[in-house]
Amino acid sequence: MTGSLLTVEQLSVSIATRRGSVAAVRDVSFAVEAGEVVGMVGESGSGKSVTALAVMGILPPAAQITNGRILFLGRELDPIRRRHGQREGLAIIFQNPRAALNPIRPVGRQIVDALRAHAPLSSQQAAAYATELLQRVRVGEPERRFWSYPFELSGGMCQRVMIAIALACRPRLLVADEPTTGLDVTTQKVILDLLAELTAAEGLATILITHDLALAGERCARLVVMQGGRTIECGHTADVLTRPREAYTRALLAATPRAPGKGPASADFATDSSDAHRSKLPLLEIRGLQRHFRLRQTGGLFAQTWARFRRTGAPRPVSVLRAVDDIDLTIGEGESVGLVGESGSGKSTLAGLVVRLIDPTAGRIVFRGNEIGTIPARKFTRSQFRHDIQMVFQDPSGSLDPRLTAFAAISEPIRLLGRLDRARPLAAVVGNLAEMVGLPATLLTRLPHQLSGGEKARVGIARAIALRPSLLVLDEPTAALDVRVQDVVLDLLARLRRDFSMTFLFISHDLAVVRQICDRVLVMRAGKIVDGGASEHLLTAPHHPYTRDLVAAIPRLPSEHRDESAGAAELFRGVFSG
């Protein structure tokens, strides 16, 4: 191991809490060779990210390395602090790009900052290379996006910017902590192909932290499986996935959603789309819906102000982005409809229009026979329809008020929009909701930063269902969750739909998850619905070339990796309940 690019030996990390010290990482050992991709998999809280932060030398103040050592290029890294230049050649892609990016600085300038910190470049040279990096990670219109702020970009676009910043450091070792969490499968493939290309061309090694075992199986030479802060299984990827030694590894494989297989040729999607919900009474009808945004070639308002300040020229003519472009859609009572497509295809904008957070440019939105598209978004909160249409947002960390406890967050819509029953205290109502989503009552007093990703996701779902809505719009509810928590959340959504006859509009990048929970799937591209039909039929025999590309890009586990028997679920529950 001493000749490896990176060597981690018997690493232990503890974190100080109010209740004492917690061992986050325990005696972890592994090595990474030059040009190698090593995957780290395991559930949330298994110690993957803490190990990565220790390697980078950016552990939080409460964390401390209590044992072991880290060697990079043959020299031992300082476990206490990050000395200047000592970790030159290391770069990290963080899991949450919106939290990692500076919200008040254009993304292009943030890439320039990274470039000039590692190379003697002029502002013009760094800006040109930053634009090239944006193009390499497939950011459309890189010259314009250079001046965009994080809040002007989709989650997938922000993730690409983070990857560009990491590549700007010209690293020898790249630590990628869930680098494709916010990306659709086609963009995910492009990004991972790019990283693979760099690995081969420049001898770049990568530690790929992911909860997607299928992705790890396709991209990694070796796997490190972590549970409870320990490495419980290491080995070549094929051996770990086809002949796992540990019950925990087998349970992770059993919980991974199945990718679509092959099927007969599909019929025309318009026929499938109408037949799928013909027997359902329409709950939501959308006709000719459009949402356009005015853009300038140099970016938004802030970029224009910056351009004038820098005297770089007059603003260019206004252009129009057709985020949602003439969409027709009908969702029946009790139906679960999936909406898939690449980042920037307009899915989240369509969701914002449906829940009336955004005003349409044109078109009709009819809910139970009532035109709600004409009600301004700022007034819809006080509308009689508000409690019937609720949303689970993509990022639970960003959508929950950091000042409110879980109890306050769940009770807020009841206090503001519901009718309180004096015979039933609010605490009892919130407690029932928490129990319904599997959130322990002891967590209701905690603030969002004190909750795990899965726990915050459950708070978001409990808050959304507090008013028992008829239509629940879910925007990537499982994107950042490991397969264990994802399985629990999907089971919860299935129960909610069964017990309360809820209707779902389920937005996701993960076609395997969509196949599992949705009756019907619609495919969006460039603001338009280009394909659709019954889930099993569409995803096993896609009609449109773009849909075929999406299905083909899904990472897959070999069939022998999965236990399809009835005992697989019991194995899963037994391992995680122990």
Q: How far apart are CA 539 and CA 476, in angstroms?
A: 18
Whether 378 maps to a domain, the answer reads: yes
Q: What's the token pair of residue 404?
A: 């409110």
Question: How many Å apart are CA 282 and CA 277, to the nearest integer?
Answer: 8
Residue 321's pLDDT band (cuts 50, 70, 90): confident
**Overall pTM > 0.85:** no
- Read off the tokens for 492: 């919860």
The amino acid sitting at 511 is: L
Domain CATH number, residue 462: 3.40.50.300
Span 520-536, pLDDT tens digits: 999 999 899 999 888 88
Domain assignment present for 32: no
Residue 72 lies in a domain: no
Count Cβ atoms within 10 A of the Cβ of residue 412 and give its class: 0-12 exposed, 13-18 middle, 19 or more buried. middle
pLDDT greater than 70 at residue 154: yes
Counted domains in the chain: 1
Task: Find the mean pLDDT for residues 136-158.
Answer: 85
Give the mean model confidence (pLDDT) for residues 296-310: 51
Task: Encode 87-147 in three state secondary structure.
Answer: CCCEEEECCCHHHHCCCCCCHHHHHHHHHHHHCCCCHHHHHHHHHHHHHHCCCCCHHHHCC
Where residue 420 falls among pLDDT bands split at 50, 70, 90?
low
Residue 179: inside a domain, yes or no?
A: no
Strand partners, 92: 175
Q: Residue 92: inside a domain, yes or no?
A: no
Domain extent at residue 350: 269-280+328-556
In this structure, is residue 507 part of a structural domain? yes
- Cα end-to-end distance, the chain, whole Å: 34
Q: What is the dihedral of CA 49, 50, 55, 58, to 10 degrees?
A: 100
CB 48 within 8 A of CB 95: no
* Residue in 507, 522, 523, 513 with CA at minimum distance from that of residue 487: 513
Tell me if 96 is assigned to some domain: no
Residue 175 in tokens: 């630590």
Q: What is the pLDDT of residue 575?
A: 42
Highest mean pLDDT among 75-84, 133-142, 232-241: 232-241
| Distant-in-sequence, close-in-space partners of 457: CB < 8 Å, separation ≥ 6 | 396, 477, 478, 481, 485, 489
**Cα 496 to the chain's mean position, in Å?**
23
Q: Which tens digits make up the pLDDT trace of 118-140?
A: 888 898 999 999 999 998 887 88
Model confidence at 87: pLDDT above 70: no
Residue 566 lies in a domain: no
